[in-house]
Structure 1
Amino acid sequence: MLLKLSWMAQLLAAFYACPSLGFHHEVPRSVNQKPTRSIANVTVIDTPLVRAAQDMARRYSEDHLFNHVMRTWLFGALVISHNTTLQQTVDLEVHAIGSLLHDLGLVLNASFISPNLRFEVDGAFAATNFVEDQVTHTHDGVDWDANRLQLLWDSIAISSEFAIALYKQATVAAQAFGDAFVPGYSAVGHRIVDFFK
């Protein structure tokens, strides 16, 4: 727990103290101006694509894995919502989908699991293929271009490599926040854990 808290504190301090650590770009304002909803007292982006990703995570994941990806999303969203820099630089839809689908590579016997790639890479390919398929068939994600797909792929593929993610775009680095979050941080943190044990 102390290691995770220390890492998260260092990461947030790094964003403030040395903005040149990663690729810093502000996301277009319209990207994050989407409907929201509240889950366990955390306000999260609410698009058809995010709901479809949540359904996919539920369909492919055992309970413990689904609860883990939900906690990852909600804790990450909580950190982002309390940091002005992250609010301006994190693509909330990419973050949500990346959080929800980041462990697809751990699903046994799924058609998207390869015999020779790391599970993060399998998950990254599965998630980007999912988004491309959704965008093609539903037209709900018309603003998903190659850059956003790359952000999604990177955020999943290097989600467990914190030392590398720190040097990527804030959307990619933010993927690690959910796993680094300490549940005892706030009453909201306890509520998230109560909802997704």
Structure 2
Amino acid sequence: MTQPYELVELDAVFPTLCIDLKYASADNITGAPIYREARCLLHPDAAQALSKSIHIAALAGLRLMVYDAYRPQQAQALLWQACPNPEYVVAVDIGSNHSRGTAIDLTLMDEQGRILDMGAGFDEMHDRSHAYHPSVPPAAQRNRLLLNAIMYGGGFVGIESEWWHFELPNAASYPLLNDLFGCYAPKTITTLPL
């Protein structure tokens, strides 16, 4: 089966974009690399929105740091195995918007390349990761609001449970894609406590 469209390689189109693909390393909720290739891909519509967000961030003297974009469905299955909680990980039978190429996970960096404090880490599956959690200090809450404004200005929407996740408003209307690269099956996946 052929893909209905070609995804955009973000490092080729945006050579100055900072990319740290968490699922191509052990720095993720499974504790092991999942992606066999460190490819950062997006649907052309999402890449166009990201271009606007990059420009808006630059106007504020900030840069974006991408943690994840397109995600093979096999990787989604491994994440569901590690965290079978629909508040944070979409069940495989539904299909993640990452697997459509229409979602991106990211944060903000200052002019010196320091990641801004968001009050909770990426993939921290806890209430503190919710967009407007009262335990998040005001400075971190302002950083989250700034990230939201930058991404909204580009054409993305956020979700309530993860401050780092943004997607096109109609993300789920795009088709799920065949896996474009392989995944590792972590030898031992520890399920996170719910």
Q: Do both proteins adopt the same fold according to a TM-score greater than 0.5, normalized to the shorter chain?
A: no
The two structures have a TM-score, normalised by structure 1, of 0.31
More helix by share: 1
